[in-house]
Amino acid sequence: MTANEQFDQYLQQKLDEKKSIGTLRSLIYASDKIDFSSNDYFGFAQSGLLNAVDKNELPAGATGSRSITGNSALAEATEQLIADFHNREAALIFNTGYMANVGLFSCIAGKGDTYISDEYIHASIIDGMRLSYANRLRFKHNDIADLEKKLSAATGKKIVAVESIYSMDGDEATLIAIAALCKKYNALLIVDEAHATGVYGDKGDGLVCKYNLEKDVYAVVHTFGKALGLHGAAVTGSNVLRNFLLNQARSFIFTTALPPHSYLLVQKAYSLLPTADRNKLHQQVNYFREQIAAVKNIGFIQSHSPIQGILAGDNFKTKALAAYLFEKGFFVRPILSPTVPVGKERIRICIHSFNTYEQIDQLVAAINVTQ
């Protein structure tokens, strides 16, 4: 057996181990199912509204990183548009939300400094913090008393990281209280608005703007892969932060820039956000919550955001329930441990403005049958 074959055998053993405990992932394609899974909250990605952008006169690719040949007036104009939209001084665009968080958190803190993050913080932020030399502390989810305890114990520069809407539980961070506590302890606050951008705020500018916390939050991450229906992300903050990131964030420096037409698409999506039907989206969420109130013997996460979920209890039950609902015509996905804590495995359900009451009724009826 060759070294290549031996290593494939080793990898296969690892995959078999994951299969035996129900954590093996696979890719699926489901164009013929009712979408209760994607983060495309307003249907921008499928509506055709973004297809109207004229891209014919632009190069197909950026040809290099932003620091070499990939920068353009279009890229910088898009960043300024984003900064203005969210009431910030500046913005810097990254190719994905993952790259934005890894780039930001890997470089702004060093040895002797301390990151303090909510225990349910996104994996991209965890990975970014791990790449730094800073100390890392976790506080219990949305627990202000535990956050204060960790702030009291922290050394060096103190940086608190939270999501405004949590991607798995769909609940909202207590941003006002957290910001006040950070001010008390002279700590920086960074907020990932991935699931709030477009969905909250008068014009879709997010919860930091909704609560007028722009001066109390050091940096905010806005991703384009959810409500905007695209891909990429921007870190917003001060001009100094932008200049620091373009010099220090390795996931920005050492990657080919987005193709030029992506910036036009981002500009178009931002122009659509103020008129996106947020009222309808939240009405659909409320309707779903009303319907599941009558469902017995099945647990649901306590969320009032578009992110909903069925608590199934273990990996195998979760995968079986997801497969059943998929067979019945609903595109939902199982969320397994360790992505969520053991015992809190779930079917993640995303409600969209384009989902109808009839579709929600059909989904709830299918869930009811599984009792």
Map out the domains of the chain as residue ranges. 21-42+277-369, 50-274
Q: Helix or strand or coil: residue 201?
A: coil
Q: What is the pLDDT of residue 50?
A: 82
b/e sequence 81-94, b meaning 16+ C-beta within 10 Å:
bbbebbbbebbbbb
Q: What is the pLDDT of residue 174?
A: 97
Which of 284, 293, 289 has the alpha carbon at shortest distance from 355? Answer: 284
- pLDDT: is 102 or 298 the higher one? 102
Tell whether omega for the bond before 338 is within 30 degrees of 0, i.e. cis.
yes
* Mean of pLDDT values over 116-127: 97
* pLDDT beyond 70 at 141: yes
Q: What is the pLDDT of residue 371?
A: 61
Q: What is the rounded CA–CA span in Å between residue 131 and residue 103?
A: 9
What phi and psi, each to the nearest 5 degrees, are found at residue 118? Answer: -60, 145
Instruction: Give me the long-range contacts of 22-31 (CB less than 8 A, separation at least 24).
Output: 22/314, 22/315, 22/316, 22/318, 22/319, 22/336, 23/315, 23/336, 23/337, 23/338, 25/336, 28/326, 30/326, 30/331
Grade residue 339 by pLDDT with cuts at 50, 70 and 90: confident
* Mean of pLDDT values over 244-272: 96
Q: What is the rounded CA–CA span in Å between residue 195 and residue 175?
A: 14
Q: What is the rounded CA–CA span in Å between residue 179 and residue 343?
A: 31
What phi and psi, each to the nearest 5 degrees, are found at residue 117? Answer: -120, 150
Grade residue 215 by pLDDT with cuts at 50, 70 and 90: very high
For the chain, what is the radius of gyration of the CA atoms? 21
Q: What is the pLDDT of residue 46?
A: 85
What phi and psi, each to the nearest 5 degrees, are found at residue 362? Answer: -65, -40
Grade residue 296 by pLDDT with cuts at 50, 70 and 90: confident
Strand partners, 117: 138, 161
Tell me, which fold does domain 50-274 have in CATH? Aspartate Aminotransferase; domain 2 (3.40.640)
Q: What is the rounded CA–CA span in Å between residue 147 and residue 143?
A: 6
**Identity at 90, one-letter amino acid code:** A
* C-beta atoms surrounding 13 within 10 Å: 9
Strand partners, 317: none
Does residue 349 contact residue 36 with C-beta atoms inside 8 Å? yes
Q: What is the pLDDT of residue 188?
A: 98
Does residue 345 contact residue 317 with C-beta atoms inside 8 Å? yes
Grade residue 297 by pLDDT with cuts at 50, 70 and 90: confident
The label of the residue with tokens 């009826």 reads 365
Does residue 109 contact residue 115 with C-beta atoms inside 8 Å? yes
How would CATH label the architecture of 21-42+277-369? Alpha-Beta Complex (3.90)
What phi and psi, each to the nearest 5 degrees, are found at residue 79? Answer: -65, -40
The DSSP secondary structure of 140-154, one letter per residue, reads: -TT-HHHHHHHHHH-
Average pLDDT, the chain: 94
- Report helix angle 97-107 to 123-131, nearest 10: 30
Grade residue 263 by pLDDT with cuts at 50, 70 and 90: very high
Q: Helix or strand or coil: residue 259?
A: coil
pTM for the whole structure = 0.94
Q: Where are the alpha helices (DSSP H) in 108-217?
A: 123-131, 144-153, 175-184, 207-210
**Identity at 257, one-letter amino acid code:** A
